Amino acid sequence: MYKNPKETEYASWWNKTISDAGLADNRYQLKGFFVWMPYGFSIMKNIRNKWDYLFALNGIQEMYFPLLVPVEYASRNASWWNSFKSQAFYALGYEETEKNAFLRPTGEPAMYPMFSTWIRSHRDLPLRIYETVSSFRNETKSTKTFVRDVEIGPWYEIHTCHATREEAENEIKLAIKMNEELFLDAAIASIKVRKPPADCFPGSVGAVEFYTTLNDKLIENASCNNLGQAYAKAFDIAFTDKDEQKKPVWQTCTGNGERILAAIIGNHSDDKGIVVPPKIAPLQAALIIINSPQEEVLDKIDLGIDKSKILILTAKAFSEIGELRFKAERMGIPARIEIGPKELLASEATLISRAGNKKSVPFKNLKAELAKLLEKLQNDLYDASKKELFGRIKECDKIEEAEKAQVALVGWCGKTECSDWIKTKTKKDLIGMTLEIEKKKCIWCGEDGEKTYFSAAY
């Protein structure tokens, strides 16, 4: 675990780590934009493959909407548009002066006018779709690659419409379950919180957000929004029910993306570089062949994994090995296998985990030992992430304890004046209430309240 309280040092470590590992190049001359490098993109693609798999498994269909949104669509939801329009990126033809379209900040203004066209009767429901796309936010705060970008992508967004509130609630439960599975493969521990009503869209039922650790803070990582009928009313998404009555639909939306990779970098890295969890690692093993014929080595060993998942590195002399080891470590490849003339003769290899454990393994056991190593590393990474996150959380009865805790779990009554006081006093942000309601008296006013997390957050 890499932790550094000084944000400036963390920022330079962050940039160096992602550049050394070949994840991204952030020298692109536009603030908040970067170039995905092949290795970084292949890791992100594996994360994306996982969500594609999960959504298909659960009957959510993939679509693609245009990146440009007509201003006319957005203005149908006047309150949303008025609060957003000053931050929009407008798209103008060279000789155009009128702002007719802008780059999508979220899916709602692009999708919901179309939903309104498609949905007529209860037979058109439920509508359950997603797209993987870039979102654009004119970010005024300082940007950080994979954490806060102007072009946010690849980003998935699930949008669903239902006939009943209960169906929408079940959809939220499913969204939570799918996000848990994504984080399990990424070996990332998370907490789930309910957002207080003031932080949700006006008129919506509520939102559940995932938080993971990054440096000494928490970071929002996926949000599942139970929109109620608020957007449906604004965008006129209505259906004729079995009783012949016209009713607005119940909606949910869930989204996340590159921050899963950000959590991996933040959670699973050391001074040598990142550690990619085996379940999403595009390269499972680096095979370093030292001063030996490559064909002969490949002929004699069976790693039990696809050749495309092995990075083969060859060294003509022992003096070249250091650089190759360093490369494999920086890239966070889970396993390293080294074979030189001596090993080839003895039919054994040196097997090294990215976590550091090293042993000699006869060629005939290599496949089984590698599988064991990958499984152990995956589990160890997840355990370390859990230990880190849950080790930070402290349930506090006194405000002095909450000041000292990294993540304070305190009672809060729901009143803004109390949360403002807690935030000021502890220098922390309000993260949210525990997923299941847990009663606890408000740490400030003493009235009935709920257990609520407060922490510094990105």
The residues that touch Zn ion, with contacts defined as CB under 5 A, are 413, 415, 418, 442, 444-445
Residue 125, Cα to own-chain centre: how many angstroms?
29
Rounded to the nearest whole angstrom, what is the least distance from the CB of residue 419 to Zn ion in the complex?
8
Q: What letters, b where the CB count within 10 A reaches 16 and e where it falls short, cover 345-366?
A: eeebbebbbbbeeeeebebeeb
d(CA 269, CA 1): 6
- State the pairing for strand pair 61-62/127-136: parallel
233 vs 415 by CB, closer to Zn ion: 415
SS3 152: strand
Per-residue tokens: 259: 């921050």
| Among the listed residues 11, 384, 23, the one whose alpha carbon sits nearest the alpha carbon of residue 213 | 384
Rounded to the nearest whole angstrom, what is the least distance from the CB of residue 191 to Zn ion in the complex?
22
279 vs 440 by CB, closer to Zn ion: 440
Rounded to the nearest whole angstrom, what is the least distance from the CB of residue 206 to Zn ion in the complex?
20
127 vs 413 by CB, closer to Zn ion: 413
Question: Are the C-beta atoms of 27 and 138 separated by less than 8 Å?
Answer: no
- State the pairing for strand pair 24-25/35-36: antiparallel
Question: Are the C-beta atoms of 401 and 178 separated by less than 8 Å?
Answer: no
193 vs 418 by CB, closer to Zn ion: 418
Rounded to the nearest whole angstrom, what is the least distance from the CB of residue 416 to Zn ion in the complex?
10
241 vs 395 by CB, closer to Zn ion: 395
Rounded to the nearest whole angstrom, what is the least distance from the CB of residue 413 to Zn ion in the complex?
3
Rounded to the nearest whole angstrom, what is the least distance from the CB of residue 444 to Zn ion in the complex?
5
Rounded to the nearest whole angstrom, what is the least distance from the CB of residue 369 to Zn ion in the complex?
57
122 vs 415 by CB, closer to Zn ion: 415
226 vs 419 by CB, closer to Zn ion: 419
338 contacts: CB under 8 Å, gap ≥ 6: 288, 290, 321, 349, 350, 352
d(CA 298, CA 80): 60
SS3 338: strand
Question: What's the one-letter identity of residue 64?
Answer: Y
Positive/negative CA dihedral, 53, 55, 59, 60: negative
d(CA 281, CA 45): 10
288 vs 442 by CB, closer to Zn ion: 442
- State the pairing for strand pair 335-339/348-353: antiparallel
Rounded to the nearest whole angstrom, what is the least distance from the CB of residue 401 to Zn ion in the complex?
17
Per-residue tokens: 102: 């802008």
Q: At what angle do helices 259-267 and 366-392 cross, to 10 degrees?
A: 90
Residue 284 is classified by DSSP as -
Question: Are the C-beta atoms of 402 and 408 separated by less than 8 Å?
Answer: yes
d(CA 289, CA 340): 6
113 vs 411 by CB, closer to Zn ion: 411
47 vs 442 by CB, closer to Zn ion: 442
Rounded to the nearest whole angstrom, what is the least distance from the CB of residue 201 to Zn ion in the complex?
24
Rounded to the nearest whole angstrom, what is the least distance from the CB of residue 442 to Zn ion in the complex?
3
